[in-house]
Structure 1
Amino acid sequence: MRGVSNSCAHLGKLIYLVLLMFSAAGYAGEQLKDETRYHVDIPPMNAAEALNSLAGQTGITMLFPYDLASSRRANAVRGHYTLQHALDLMLRGTGLTGSRSDKGVLMISRTSTALIDKEDTAVKENEQLQARPVNKTSLLAGITALFASAVATPVATGQTTQAGTAGLTILEEITVTARKREENLQNVPISVTAFNAEQIEQLGIINLLDLDTHVVNLSLGGGDNTGGTNFVRATIRGVGTQARINTDGAVGLYLDGVYVPRMTGTLLDLLDVENIEVLRGPQGTLFGRNTTGGAIRYNSKRPHTEKFEGYIKAGYGSRDLIEVTGMANIPLGEKAAIRVSAYSRDQDGYVDNMLGNIATATDPSALQYDSHGTQELGDYDNWGVRASLRFQPADALTVDLTGAYTEDKGNGPAFKLTDWNLNARRGEGEPCRMIARGVVRAREVRRAPGGVCTLERARSDAFNGVAETNSALDPVLDNAFGVLDGDNTQGGIANYEKITTEMLSAEISWDINEYLTATSRTGYLNIEPFYINDNDYTPVIWRERVRDYKNDSFSQEVLINGDHERLNWTAGVFYFEETPEELTTGSDNGTPDVFIREETLDAESIALFAEGSYWLFDNLSVTLGYRWTEDKKELTAFGDGPIRSRDRNFDPASDPDILALINGPGIPSSASAGDTWRESTWRASIQYHWTDNVMTYFTASTGYTSGSFNNELELKFGPSENFGILPFEAEEVDLYEAGFRSTLADGRIRFNATGFFQDWTGRQLRKIQPDGTRFVTNAGNAETYGAEIDVTFQVTESLNFAAAVGILDGEWTTIAPEVSDQILIDSELARLPDLTFSLALNHTAFLDFGSVRTSVSYGWRADQYSSDAETRTIEIDSYGLMTGRIEYATVDEKWALALSCRNCLDEDYINTGVDFTGTTMNQARVRDLGREGYRVEQIGEPLGWFLEIKRSF
C-alpha cells in the first residue's frame, strides 16, 4: 500500500505540474498573434533558388535582388513553421532579411547591420528587384532556429547569430536526430542535451566520462567492481545497469547510428565529432531494447566536396601529457570526398602502486615491499584513426562509408585500498579449514602443506566454527598502510589493460521523392579488452583477475521517413547479433590455485517499429509509436573453481559430491541454456505550440532491458540449490513526462523545464551469495521522479551564460525475498544524486589582431551510492568540478593557441568503489556473508593543465 499511495501522490504532483505548465504557457501566449504555419522542406541551396522554393511552398509573392541572392547559400529548413520564422532560419547568416509589405508582398533586402564582405561590395546598389509570383502553402522555419538546446544545454553554451531585421544577437538553432529525423531541438518532446563540436572543445570533453560533469541527472562512473578504466556504468535519472557478457546496459550508446552493446573501450575518446546528444528517459520505440534509462548518440563529421580543409593540433600538459590530433577533408571531384582524422594521447598516472613480491594468504610472511618497483595507475596511452568516404552519384542518393580503429593501453584505473577488515574474511591457510569454509578445491587439499584433510576433520571444523582470520596477515596489512599516503596504494601484482576497437559502417540515404526518404545503416563492431587487475589492491594475492574478452557485433537497420503536409512518420526494421566471449582466471580468496571461468553468448534481436506525428491543427500535434522486439540468447559457461559451501555449518558427509571430491580431483563443470523473450514498447505524446516561441508537451513511453542468464558456474556444495545458469527476466520502465519549451527576449533567452515520473518493474540486480558467488536476479520494483530545468542567456553579442539544474529522487516499492538479506525497502538506489547542477560562461573579445575566447564551466552533484546492494555499496560524497579554457585565434583563424585546465580547483573526489569489509549499513547480516574483507575506491583525476597550438589549412 505504501508504494501505491506514494505512486498516486507523485502522479498527482506530476499532473499538477502539467496543468501549471499549460496554464503558464497559455498566459504567456495570450497576447501574441497566432500565425498560419506551413509545411516547409527546403534543402541547403543558393538563396535565390531557396526563395523561389519557399514562395512555391507558401504561395507568397516575393521580390528579391536576384544577383545578390544567387551569390548567397541559404540554410536548410524542414518542418512546420510560420512564414517569418522559416525565412529567418533560411536566410540566417546570409546578410539578407525579409519583411511583409502592406499588400502582403514579401520584400527581401540586405540586412542593414550585416557585415559586408567582398562579394557584397561587388554588387551594384541599383540592382533591380525581380518579382516572383507563387502559390500558397506554408512557412514556419525561422525562430525555431533562433532557439538552441531545449532541456538540452545544461552546461553547453549556445551559438549565436544576428537576427534578421532587428540585427539582434540571438541563440542559434540546434538540430538533433533524437527521433531519427532532423528537427529543431526546441520542437522535440523529449528531454535532450546536445553539444556541438565547438562546445565539446570549449568544455574540455575528450571522452564519454567527461559528460558526467556537464549533463544534469546523468551519472557516468565505474560500476560496482574494480575492472578496467573503460568499464563504464551509465545511469540516467537513476536508471542504469553495467553491461557485462550476460547483462545489458540500460543506456544505449550509438556511434553514427550504430548500436554499441558494451560500453567497454568503445571509441570513447572523441574523434572528429560533429555533436553529442543525450536523450533522457525510455527510448523503446525508435531505439528499442536496452534504452530504459535513455540513449547517448555520437555523430561524427562527414566529408564534403566544398573545399580541401584540415588542421593539426599538438600540445603538452600536466603529468607529461602529450597529445597530437589532425584532420583532413579531401574532395574527390564534385561527387565524392574523403575525411581522415587521427589522434594520439599519452599521459602518466596519478596513484602510485607500490608493488611487492607475490605472496599468498597461506604464506604472507614472504611479502617484501618495493622489490618490484612502482607503477602509476590512472595513466593512458591511446591512439586512433578514422576514415570516411562520402559518395553522391546523384542528387537524391548519398553513400557514407566509415572505418575506425582505436587502441587504449595503460596500468588500469586509479583504485587504492582504503580499509580492510580481516574478521570478515573466510578461512585461510590450513587446508581443512579452507575446505570447511568452502574456499578451496579438493585437489588442492591433497597437495597443500599440512597434510590431507580427512572427512572427520572437515566435519569437525565446519561444526565448530572455523577461525576466520590468519593472524599473520595483520602485520602485512598494517605495514601496507604504514607506507601509504594520499597518492599511493600497495598491490600484490602489476595491473595492465589493453583495449582495441574496430568499427565499420555504411549508410545509404535515398530521397525517393519529395515526401519519402529511405535510409540503410549497417554496422560492424569488434571490441577486444584484456585486463590484469589486482581487485583487492592489498599486498596479498587475494582476489586477482585476468580477463580476456572479445565481442563481435553486427547490426542492420532500414528506415523510411515520410514527411507530407500534416503527417511526419518513421518506420523501419532492425536486426542485431553479437557473440561476446570471455575467459577469466585468477586467485580466489587466498587459495593456492586459480579458478577458470569461460563464457560464450550468442545473442540475436529483431524488431519492427513505427512512429508518426500528426498535426491536428496548426499548433497541436499528437505522436504515437510502437515497437515489437524478439530477443534470442544462448549462454554456454565452463567453470573450474573452488568448492564453496552455502552454509557455514554444513556436514560434508551429507553431500555425496563433496565425499567424491575429498577423495579425488576436482571436477570441472559446464552448462548451457537458451531462451527467447518478446517485448512490445510504445510512446504517446501530445504537443501544443502556444506561440512560435512557446511549446508544451506530455509524453508517456515504455522501455525494457533484455533478460538473460547467469554466467557464474562453479562447483558448490551445501543444502542450497546450485544456481548455475538460471535465467532472469527483462527489466521494464514506464515514463510519464511533461515539458515546457520557450524562447524569450527576442530570441536571446531560452528557458526550458521538464518534470517526470518513472515506474520501474523487475529491476535487475547483481547479488552476492554467502559463498561469494554472484548472480543476477530481478530484485523488485522501484520508482524515480524529478525534474530538469535549464536556461541559456545571450547577454551580449560576445557573452553567453548557461545554467541547468537536475532534481532526482526515488525509492524501492517492493523487494523480492531472495535479495532481502542485502536490500531493505528503505535502501538507497544507486547513482541517484538528489541534486545536480551545471554553470557555463563563454566570452569572446574581438580585437584588431584576432580574437580571445574564454570559457569557464562548473558542474556539481550531491551524494550518491555506488551500488544498490548494501553489502558492497559505498557513499560517494558530493563534489564539484571546474573546467576552463582561454584561446587566442588570429584574424584569419589559421592559427590558434589555447590554455585549458581540468578540475581547476583541484577537488578531491572518488568515482566509484566497493566495500567488502562488512562494515557497511547492514552490518550484522553483512558479516555473516563472509565478505572478502577490503574496501577500495577509484580516486578522481586531480588538477590538470594543457597548452596546445593549432594550425588550420
Structure 2
Amino acid sequence: MPRHIGAGFIAGAVGLTSMPVYAQNNVIVVTARKVEENLQDVPVSVTAFTGETFEEAGLTEFSDISQLTPNFDVRPRGATGALFANLTIRGQTSGFLTLNADQAVGININGAPITRGTSLFTNLFDIERIEVLKGPQGTLYGKNTTGGAVNVVTKGPELDEIGGYGQFTYGSFDRTDAQLVANLPLIEDELGIRLGAAMTHRDGFGFGSTTGRELADDNEIFLRGSLLYEPSDSFSIRINADYHDVDESTSIFRSLRSASLDLGFFILPIAIKTDNPDFYAGNDFRAEAPFARSDEFNINATAILDLGGASLESITSYRKQNSLTLVQSAPSTSITLGQDSDLFAQELRLSGSALDDRLTWQVGGFYSTESGEDIDNVGGFQTTAAKNDGWSLFTQNSFAITDQVKLTLGLRYTNEDREVRDISPMVTGLLQNNASFDAFSWLASLDYKPSEDTLLYASISRGFRSGAIDQDNLATIVDPEFVLNYEVGFKADLFDNRVRFNTSAFYSDYTDIQRTAFDPDSIGSTGVPTTVLRNAAEATIWGFEGELQVNPADGLSFGATVGYTNAKFDEFIDFDAAGNLLDRTNEPLGGPEWQYSLNGRYEFSVSDSSTLGIQANYFWISEDVLAAPSVIAVLAPGEGSVASFGLLNGQIDLDIDKWGGLNIAVFGTNILDKEYFVGGIALDLFGGIANQLVGEPRQWGIRVTKDF
C-alpha cells in the first residue's frame, strides 16, 4: 500500500468502503436483488449513487464510475483504445471482446443485459442511479457475472407534471455539450413520456507524431425515449428506447520503444518509438486517419402485474450494435477491428411473500439469443461469425428466522449452446464448431440486524463464466471458469444518520481460468507463435473495500473509499514467444491492487433563493501490470505496466431557485494536470513492444442547466 495514504487511514479501512456524497438522512433505494430495497438493508457489497451525485463530482462518462467505486476499474482495451472497455471488479477482468467468448462483469441498463463493452467511454445523461454489485451475482443475474455487475437506471416519466431541463456545457478544447430532456404527462396519473437528446463535441487534445493530425476528439449523439403506462394500481409497463452514435479519432497511443520484424529482404516496422517530447503526441502512420465508430440501438420493456400476494415481472429487450476502429498502434499493417451483433433477451420473474411476510421469494426464467460477426482484419487472423443461445431457471428466497436474523438461499441453472464459424476471405482449417455448456450458480447468506441502523452479513456464492470456442483455432473448446466467493460485511448509519460506514471483506477461489497464451507448436517460418485460448490457471483472490460518509453539519459532507484486491495465480504453466516453458505461479492476475478516493462538499445559502456548492474529489489507483515477468524482463523499467496515478477534480455550482431552477457550475478535471497512462500493450515479440494509452489532460468548463 502506498505510504501517502497514512497509517491512520489504513487502520480505519479494514473494509472501509465509502459512499459518494449524499445528503443527510438520504435513503438510497436499489434493486440489487431485483426488488426495491434500502441500500443499507441489502446483504451484498453494493456501491450506489444518484445521477446528481455523479454530476456534482464533475463526472460524465460511464468509465468515471470507477472514481467513486472501490475495487472497480474501467480502462480502454489494448489496441482498440476507447471504443471497447475493459472492466475489472475485485480482480475479475471482463476479458474477451469477441462473440466467441463472454465477459466476467455484467452490465445492465434498465434491467436489460449489455453483453459487450462497446462504447462505454461515453457520456451518461438523465440518470436516476448507478449500482455496482461486487462479487459473483450468478443467482439473479446469471452467467458472466463472476466479478460483479453494474446496473444503470435512467430517469423515467413522471405522470403528474410537465417538466424537463436544458443544459449546455462549454470547456477546454472547444468542448460544446448540449442536453435537452422533456417530461410530458399524456394522461394524468396514467400515461407519460420522457424524451431526451444529448450531443457532445470536443476537439482532440493530442496529435499524431508523424502526421500532425488531431487525435482523441469526442463526438457523440445520444437519443432516448421512455414511455410509462399505469392504467391501474395493479399493472404498469415502461418502454425504454435509445440510439447512440460515436465517431471519433480513437485514443492516443505512445510507443515507448521501436520494434521490427526482419523478413530477410525487408525490415517490417512493428512499432516506432514516439520521440516527440509532447506527452500528447501519439502514433499515427497511415494516409487514412485512425477512427473509432459505433452505433447502437436498444429497446426494452418492463411490465409488472400485481396478482395480489405475488407480482409478475417481464423484461424484454433487444440490442443491435455496430462498431469499427482503425487502430494506429502498428505502422506496417492495416488493422481494423469491430463487431456487428444483435441480442434478444427475455426474463420472467414471479415474486411474493408468505408466512406473515417472514418469507420473501422469487422464481423465474431467462432466455437470450445473440448473433453477429467479429471483424479482425489483422493479416492472417480470422474473421468469425457466432451465435449464442442460452436459457436459465432461478430462485432466490429469504426467510426471517427471527426479527433480526434472515437466511437467504438462491439457485440458478444455466444451459447454453454456442456456434462459431470462420468467414475469413481465405478460410484455413476447421470451418465451424459447436459447443454446449451448463452449470449451477448458487448463493447462501445470513444477515443479522442488531439494531434498525446496523447490518452484519456473511455469504458464500458460486458464479461462472460460460465456456468458449477459440476464435483463431475453432477446434479448441474451453470449459467454463468458476468462482467460489466467501464474504462478510457490515453496514451502519451512526450518530443520528450523520455517519454512514459500510465495509466488506472477501476471499475467492477462482478455477479453470480462461486465458489466451502462446502455443509453442504454432511457431512457423517467422519464429512467431500464435495464441490459443485455454483453461490455463487457478487463482486465489482476497481483499476488502470500504465506504465512509460523514455529514458533520448541515450542508457539509466528507467521504472516502478504499479498495484492496490481492489476486494471484495459484498455478499457471505458460509459454513465452519463443516457445519456452514458463511457470507463472504466484504472478498477479492483473488489475490494480489499491484504489482510494476522498471527497468533500459544502453547500450554503447566499440568499433566500440561492445556494452555493463547493466540491472536490481526489481519486488514486495503483499500478496495473500489463505483462508477465518474462515479458517485462525484455522491456525497460516501466514499459510492462501502467504506473499508479491520482486525479483531482473540483466544482463550484450555484443553484438559483427564483428563476425557475437555474444551476451554473464551473468545474475542472485533472486539475493538477497529471500526465498518466490508462492502459496499454506489452509483448516480448519482435524484441519487445510497449504501447501505452494516454490519459486526458487538465480540462475546465462551465455548465448551465435550466429546469422548466
TM-score, with length taken from structure 2 = 0.91
Query: Could you say which residue in structure 2 is the equivalent of 1:454?
Result: none
The correspondence of residues 22-33 of structure 1 with structure 2, limited to 5 A, is none
Matches of 1:737 and 1:828 in 2, distance apart? 21
Which amino acid letter does the alignment assign opposite residue 506 of structure 1? A
Query: Could you say which residue in structure 2 is the equivalent of 1:846?
Result: 605
Query: Could you say which residue in structure 2 is the equivalent of 1:911?
Result: 678
Matches of 1:569 and 1:787 in 2, distance apart? 30
Q: 1:933 to 1:812 in 2, by over 3 A?
A: closer
Contact 1:782 1:810 in 2 (8 A): yes
Contact 1:151 1:192 in 2 (8 A): no
Q: 1:801 to 1:609 in 2, by over 3 A?
A: same
> Which of 354, 358, 362 matches 1:570?
362
Query: Could you say which residue in structure 2 is the equivalent of 1:67?
Result: none
Q: 1:473 to 1:266 in 2, by over 3 A?
A: closer
Contact 2:518 2:574 in 1 (8 A): no
Q: 1:668 to 1:517 in 2, by over 3 A?
A: same
The correspondence of residues 567-646 of structure 1 with structure 2, limited to 5 A, is 567-586=359-378, 588=379, 595=380, 597-639=382-424
Tell which has more relative contact order, 1 or 2 (C-alpha 8 A, sep 6+): 2
The correspondence of residues 254-293 of structure 1 with structure 2, limited to 5 A, is 254-265=108-119, 268-293=122-147
Contact 2:303 2:313 in 1 (8 A): yes
Which amino acid letter does the alignment assign opposite residue 891 of structure 1? D
TM-superposed deviation, 1:217: 0.8
- Where is the helix percentage greater, Structure 1 or Structure 2? 1
TM-superposed deviation, 1:229: 1.3
Determine helix, strand or coil for the equivalent of 1:249.
Answer: coil
Contact 1:226 1:535 in 2 (8 A): yes
In the TM superposition, what whole-angstrom CA distance separates every residue of 1:572-615 from its partner, at most 9, and x where no partner exists?
Answer: 100011002123324x4xxxxxx463201110110000001000
Query: Could you say which residue in structure 2 is the equivalent of 1:945?
Result: 700
Determine helix, strand or coil for the equivalent of 2:92.
Answer: coil
Matches of 1:484 and 1:838 in 2, distance apart? 31
Determine helix, strand or coil for the equivalent of 2:21.
Answer: coil
Matches of 2:686 and 2:467 in 1, distance apart? 28
Matches of 1:210 and 1:557 in 2, distance apart? 29
Look at both structures and tell me which one has the larger radius of gyration over its CA atoms: 1
> Which of 522, 526, 550 matches 2:340?
550
Matches of 1:278 and 1:868 in 2, distance apart? 29
The correspondence of residues 78-477 of structure 1 with structure 2, limited to 5 A, is 154-160=18-24, 171-223=25-77, 225-245=78-98, 246-265=100-119, 268-334=122-188, 335-355=190-210, 370=211, 374-422=212-260, 425=261, 427-430=262-265, 470=267, 477=272
Query: Could you say which residue in structure 2 is the equivalent of 1:500?
Result: 295
Q: 1:606 to 1:266 in 2, by over 3 A?
A: farther
Whether 1:884 aligns to 2:644 is no
TM-superposed deviation, 1:473: 6.3
Q: Structure 1 stretches of 5 or more lacking a match?
A: 1-16, 22-149, 161-170, 356-369, 431-468, 589-594, 642-666, 713-722, 919-929
Matches of 1:548 and 1:240 in 2, distance apart? 20
Q: 1:811 to 1:482 in 2, by over 3 A?
A: closer
Which amino acid letter does the alignment assign opposite residue 580 of structure 1? G
Q: 1:705 to 1:931 in 2, by over 3 A?
A: farther
Q: 1:375 to 1:288 in 2, by over 3 A?
A: same
Matches of 2:630 and 2:397 in 1, distance apart? 44
Whether 1:519 aligns to 2:283 is no
Contact 1:614 1:622 in 2 (8 A): yes
> Which of 744, 748, 753 matches 2:498?
748
TM-superposed deviation, 1:260: 0.6
Contact 1:158 1:172 in 2 (8 A): yes
Q: 1:869 to 1:241 in 2, by over 3 A?
A: farther
Matches of 1:753 and 1:327 in 2, distance apart? 37
Q: 1:239 to 1:781 in 2, by over 3 A?
A: same
In the TM superposition, what whole-angstrom CA distance separates every residue of 1:93-116 from its partner, at most 9, and x where no partner exists?
Answer: xxxxxxxxxxxxxxxxxxxxxxxx
Matches of 2:275 and 2:542 in 1, distance apart? 46
Which amino acid letter does the alignment assign opposite residue 23 of structure 2? Q
Matches of 2:80 and 2:680 in 1, distance apart? 11
- Where is the strand percentage greater, Structure 1 or Structure 2? 2
Contact 1:535 1:544 in 2 (8 A): no
TM-score, with length taken from structure 1 = 0.68
Q: Structure 2 stretches of 5 or more lacking a match?
A: 1-10, 633-638
TM-superposed deviation, 1:693: 1.8
Determine helix, strand or coil for the equivalent of 1:931.
Answer: helix
Contact 1:636 1:671 in 2 (8 A): yes
In the TM superposition, what whole-angstrom CA distance separates every residue of 1:528-577 from its partner, at most 9, and x where no partner exists?
Answer: 001111232xxx42x43113420100000001121331011111100011
Q: Which sits farther off after the overlay, 293-302 or 864-873?
A: 864-873
Determine helix, strand or coil for the equivalent of 2:84.
Answer: coil
Whether 1:701 aligns to 2:494 is no
The alignment's C-alpha RMSD in Å is 2.3
Query: Could you say which residue in structure 2 is the equivalent of 1:533?
Result: 327
Contact 2:433 2:474 in 1 (8 A): no
In the TM superposition, what whole-angstrom CA distance separates every residue of 1:333-371 from its partner, at most 9, and x where no partner exists?
Answer: 22100000110001112221144xxxxxxxxxxxxxx4x
Contact 1:271 1:386 in 2 (8 A): no
Matches of 1:886 and 1:677 in 2, distance apart? 53
Which amino acid letter does the alignment assign opposite residue 20 of structure 2? A
Contact 1:151 1:752 in 2 (8 A): yes
In the TM superposition, what whole-angstrom CA distance separates every residue of 1:679-727 from its partner, at most 9, and x where no partner exists?
Answer: 0010000011111122211000010011110111xxxxxxxxxx54311
Contact 2:133 2:150 in 1 (8 A): yes
Which amino acid letter does the alignment assign opposite residue 793 of structure 1? V
Determine helix, strand or coil for the equivalent of 2:496.
Answer: helix
TM-superposed deviation, 1:798: 0.8
TM-superposed deviation, 1:794: 0.9
In the TM superposition, what whole-angstrom CA distance separates every residue of 1:765-815 from its partner, at most 9, and x where no partner exists?
Answer: 122345342221111100110111221111111101111111221221112
Contact 2:612 2:655 in 1 (8 A): yes
